[in-house]
Amino acid sequence: MSSDGKPVLQKPAESVLDLIGNTPMVRVSHLDTGPCELYLKLESQNPGGSIKDRIGLEMIHAAEDEGKLKPGGTIIEATAGNTGLGLALVAAQKGYKLKLVIPDKMSRDKIMHLQALGAEVILTRSDVAKGHPEYYQDVALRLASETPGSFFVNQFANEANPRAHEKTTAPEIWQQMDGRIDAFIAGVGSGGTITGIGQYLKRQDPKVEIIVADPEGSIVAEAVNTGSIPNSVGSWVVEGIGEDFIPDTLDLGVVDCGITVGDKEALMTGRDLLRKEGILGGSSSGTLIAAALRYCREQTSLKRVVTFVCDTGNKYLNKAYNDYWMEDQGFIKRQKFGDLRDFVS
Ligand code: PMP
């Protein structure tokens, strides 16, 4: 609002790419945050629906600046996740071809969304591990070596990934919080988010606690808390975060501690977030907010805590927000009975 009480509206943008970032922040008002204030940065409001739009833009700009990507060139990446959507959005606007190598277990909706954005999708086996010729990252690497004028993005080792957050997300958070933050909580997929933001916040105020929220079964929280890499990995249904290796883009030194959250707690927290705060977030947001709420309730004095709604929950309506799917996973016992199952794939 301006001083005369009128809302301050932004002027029209020149391109959808100008609408990436500058996301709003909202304070949690109904969930129990103990003595703390919990703030959510709504990355779900980016045009591609997730925090990954930011790195799509920065990694493509960096490749252009470094001469790795020329007009009409081909961008190659191995992902079915939000990075694919972010890259597809930017590639379509800038006229690049985009080839995405995707394991065949990924949802049809995601694949169709990527194809609708103009990406060429190459499906590969989901049941093989790193080193197998059909492993999705190895297929992408090979494709890049065979495609003239191509650029292999490789978000797990691309410095422009954490840099996107250091340049944009972190200063936005610092400004929105008036420089008063006690703790920041994020998940790790590639590690770009927590590394870029963690390094920036520690420079502003070394007392800011940087906390990783990690799905049960992932190795990241344990690696942070014990200082050694666990040798066993589990599985989890939350999407976009949790790892079975430490990516090059993750600076473990910036992370103070890890909180592990099981799938049920994560998804139930996401459902609570929608009912109580009116925010439709994805599954990783449930992990982050569950960890943040636990942290907040353990405090004995007021702390200002920041975390994310990483992506929109629209993509998960048929999972976390579908009572039948939740019951099949053993997470809830349905109270109401109807014939909805006939319409659910
Ligand atoms: N949440 C979601 C929904 C994501 O897709 C990702 C990235 N895979 C993350 C969180 C984690 O971000 P980062 O890769 O920067 O660690």
Lay out the sheet containing 97-103: strands in order across.
120-124, 97-103, 74-78, 150-152
Long-range pairs, 101-108, Cβ under 8 A, ≥24: 101/76, 101/77, 101/136, 101/137, 101/139, 101/140, 101/143, 102/78, 102/136, 103/136, 106/80, 107/80, 107/315
Phi/psi zone of residue 281: left (φ > 0), alpha (ψ -120 to 50 degrees), beta? beta
Question: Does residue 196's CB lie within 6 angstroms of at least one atom of ligand 1?
Answer: no
- Terminal Cα distance for the chain, rounded: 44
Active site residue 167: no
Q: Which ligand 1 atom sits nearest the alpha carbon of residue 191?
A: 16
The one-character DSSP state at 312 is B
Residue 60 near residue 92, CB atoms below 8 Å: no
Tens of each residue's pLDDT in the chain, 345 residues: 566 778 788 899 999 999 999 999 999 999 999 999 999 999 999 999 999 999 999 999 999 999 999 999 999 999 878 999 999 999 999 999 999 999 887 778 888 999 999 999 999 998 887 789 999 989 999 999 999 999 999 999 999 999 999 999 999 999 999 999 999 999 999 999 999 999 999 999 999 999 999 999 999 999 999 999 998 889 999 999 999 889 999 999 999 999 999 999 999 999 999 999 999 999 999 999 999 999 999 999 999 999 999 999 998 999 999 999 999 999 999 876 665 554 444
311 pocket-lining for ligand 1 (C-beta < 6 Å): yes
Strands of 257-261's sheet, edge to edge? 25-27, 37-42, 304-309, 183-186, 209-215, 257-261
Please work out whether the CB of residue 193 comes within 6 Å of at least one atom of ligand 1.
Answer: yes
Query: What's the rounded Cα separation, in Å, for the pair 282 and 225?
Result: 26
Cβ(188) – ligand 1 distance below 6 Å: yes
CB of residue 84 inside a 6 A radius of ligand 1? no
Token pair in block for residue 268:
């139930």
Tell me how far the alpha carbon of residue 198 lies from the centroid of ligand 1, in angstroms: 15
Query: Residues 41, 52, 303, 315: which is the catalytic one?
Result: 52
CA of 2 to the centre of ligand 1 (A): 35
Q: Which atom of ligand 1 is nearest to the CA of 188?
A: 16
C-alpha dist (Å) from residue 224 to 63, 102, 210, 276, 322? 32, 30, 11, 32, 34
Q: Residues 6 or more apart from 95 whose CB is under 8 A from it?
A: 71, 72
Please, what sign has the CA dihedral across residues 11, 29, 262, 230?
positive
Residue to substitute in 243, 284, 288 for testing ligand 1 pocket (most ligand atoms within 8 angstroms of CB): 284
In this structure, what token pair is assigned to residue 55? 């790195």
